[in-house]
């Protein structure tokens, strides 16, 4: 029997495609590379109300070299500050038409299928919102997205308040920024490297603090393709060390100069982010080859202490509000029953200067060869 080619919006027919719809959900739940990356590397922190994060502005000088007759030190010259992060919550409705409930009354399997389908719709909607918020959250009731935390502006021009700390008045709380001034594939004078590769190296160097090098470079699909093309033209395919596991999540990644490069469908156009997410891999923190699929599994990798984290950026969740369902209600004089699924999510970090971004000030040069 051939595949049906007629378009249909008949709900009962769509609802019967149980296996196909569930496979679709499994794909959609995994397609945000950055969201999955936080979970895979156990960069998840439990926050019940407010998470206070201490910041070292300068290394402590608590030791003192001594000789005979010297006095023991009694003070420390360390400089500290405090940032704070809070949860953000999203409520997703699940709507049921009372007529559907009546028509299937006494048919338990049909009712379970109806609930399963509606839950699937809500899960996909909620996951898309969470994945988009990683990059595009505007603060306030929304999460603090990368576009808010990491500004596409020179450090002296950054003005956002992030984690309760104002960048405009705190020079030490500003991210790195590199501007691409020519199309990606333009060969710069005095070198045989594309301008995009030179800008990428400059961004990596700016985000390298001491011996802590950034772990991830995340961008759009077009820029990802340009980086891959440049590596193939400059070197050889055998130098493209790829992560096959990422293909299971609908994305691809490879190593560039020791850093994972990948693309995320939610990344704004013409932007490249350089992040510290996984500086030292510890398999025990992620349960070995952990392949977390659903948000409900985050409790297995979350920690209460930021000092247990590997990188300088993390997700914040409330373990008491993870896909928490509210009882269904029917509005007065209406034949529609609605219940809600509530989840928590936000981004946080404790080393702002380690992270950076690059763009071309609206010129689309990163995405143009």
* Token pair 């977390």: residue: 292
Q: Does the pLDDT of residue 286 top 80, yes or no? A: no
pLDDT at 7: 47
User: Tell me: the pLDDT tens digits for 220-266?
Assistant: 989 999 998 888 887 755 556 666 556 555 567 788 887 888 888 88
pLDDT at 299: 41
Cα 110 from Cα 112, distance rounded (Å): 5
- CATH architecture of the domain covering 32-55+80-359: Alpha-Beta Complex (3.90)
Strands, DSSP E only, in the chain? 44-46, 50-58, 79-86, 89-97, 161-162, 165-166, 176-179, 216-219, 253-256, 259-263, 272-275, 313-317, 324-329, 336-344, 346-349, 356-359
pLDDT at 6: 47
Domain boundaries, the chain: 32-55+80-359
Closest CA relative to residue 170, chosen from 184, 155, 183: 155
> Region 47-66: what's the mean pLDDT?
77
The answer to whether residues 86 and 48 touch, using CB atoms and an 8 Å cutoff, is no
Q: Does the pLDDT of residue 2 top 50, yes or no? A: no
Q: Does the pLDDT of residue 138 top 80, yes or no? A: yes
Q: Does the pLDDT of residue 284 top 70, yes or no? A: no
- Cα angle at 170 between 166 and 135, to 5 degrees? 50
Cα 32 from Cα 137, distance rounded (Å): 15
How far from 297 is each of 290, 292, 342, 352, 359, CA to CA, in Å?
10, 6, 15, 28, 35
Entry pTM:
0.78
User: Tell me: the pLDDT tens digits for 234-246?
Assistant: 775 555 666 655 6
Which of 42-51, 101-110, 120-129, 157-166 reaches the highest mean pLDDT? 157-166
When computed from its CA atoms, the radius of gyration of the chain, rounded to whole angstroms, is: 24
Q: Coil, strand or helix: which one is 40?
A: helix
pLDDT at 330: 80
Q: Does the pLDDT of residue 282 top 50, yes or no? A: no
Q: Does the pLDDT of residue 192 top 90, yes or no? A: no
| Tokens coding 122 | 């809500």
- Is the pLDDT higher at 362 or at 203? 203
Cα 238 from Cα 232, distance rounded (Å): 9
Contacts of 269 (CB under 8 A, 6+ apart): 220, 222, 364, 367
pLDDT at 246: 62
* Lowest-confidence segment of 40-49, 57-66, 148-157 by average pLDDT: 57-66
Q: Does the pLDDT of residue 288 top 50, yes or no? A: no
Cα 145 from Cα 139, distance rounded (Å): 7
Q: Does the pLDDT of residue 212 top 50, yes or no? A: yes
- Is the pLDDT higher at 313 or at 78? 313
Q: Where are the alpha helices (DSSP H) in the chain?
A: 11-15, 18-29, 33-40, 98-103, 108-136, 146-149, 195-206, 221-234, 244-247
């Amino acid at each position: 029997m051939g595949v049906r080619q007629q378009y249909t919006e008949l709900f009962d027919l769509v609802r019967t495609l149980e296996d196909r719809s569930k496979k679709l959900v499994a794909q959609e739940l995994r397609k945000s590379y950055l969201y999955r990356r936080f979970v895979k590397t156990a960069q998840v922190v439990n926050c019940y109300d407010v998470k206070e994060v201490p910041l070292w502005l300068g290394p402590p000088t608590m030791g003192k070299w001594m000789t005979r007759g010297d006095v023991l030190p009694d003070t420390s010259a360390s400089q500290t500050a405090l940032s704070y992060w809070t949860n953000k919550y999203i409520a997703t409705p699940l709507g049921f038409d009372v007529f559907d409930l009546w028509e299937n009354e006494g048919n338990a399997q049909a009712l379970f299928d109806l609930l399963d389908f509606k839950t699937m719709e809500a899960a996909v909607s909620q996951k898309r919102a969470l994945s988009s918020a990683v990059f595009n959250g505007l603060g306030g009731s929304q999460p603090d997205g990368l576009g808010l935390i990491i500004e596409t502006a020179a450090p002296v021009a950054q003005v956002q308040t992030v984690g309760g700390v104002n960048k405009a008045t705190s020079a030490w709380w500003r991210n790195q920024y590199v501007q691409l001034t020519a199309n990606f594939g333009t060969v710069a004078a005095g070198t045989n490297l594309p301008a995009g590769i030179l800008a990428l190296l400059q961004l990596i160097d700016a985000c390298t603090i001491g011996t802590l090098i950034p772990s991830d470079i995340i961008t759009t699909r077009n820029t990802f393709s340009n980086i891959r093309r440049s590596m193939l033209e400059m070197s050889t395919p055998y130098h493209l060390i790829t992560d096959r596991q990422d293909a299971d999540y609908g994305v691809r990644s490879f190593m560039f100069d020791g850093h994972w490069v990948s693309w995320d469908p939610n990344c704004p156009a013409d932007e490249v982010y350089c992040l510290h997410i996984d500086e030292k891999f510890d398999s025990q923190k992620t349960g070995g080859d952990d392949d977390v699929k659903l948000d409900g599994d985050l409790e297995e990798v979350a920690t209460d202490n930021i000092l247990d984290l590997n990188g300088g950026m993390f997700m914040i969740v409330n373990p008491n509000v993870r896909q928490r369902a509210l009882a269904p209600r029917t509005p007065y004089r209406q034949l529609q029953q609605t219940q809600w699924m509530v989840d928590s999510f936000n981004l946080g970090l404790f080393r702002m200067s380690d992270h950076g971004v690059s763009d071309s000030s609206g010129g689309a040069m990163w995405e143009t060869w």
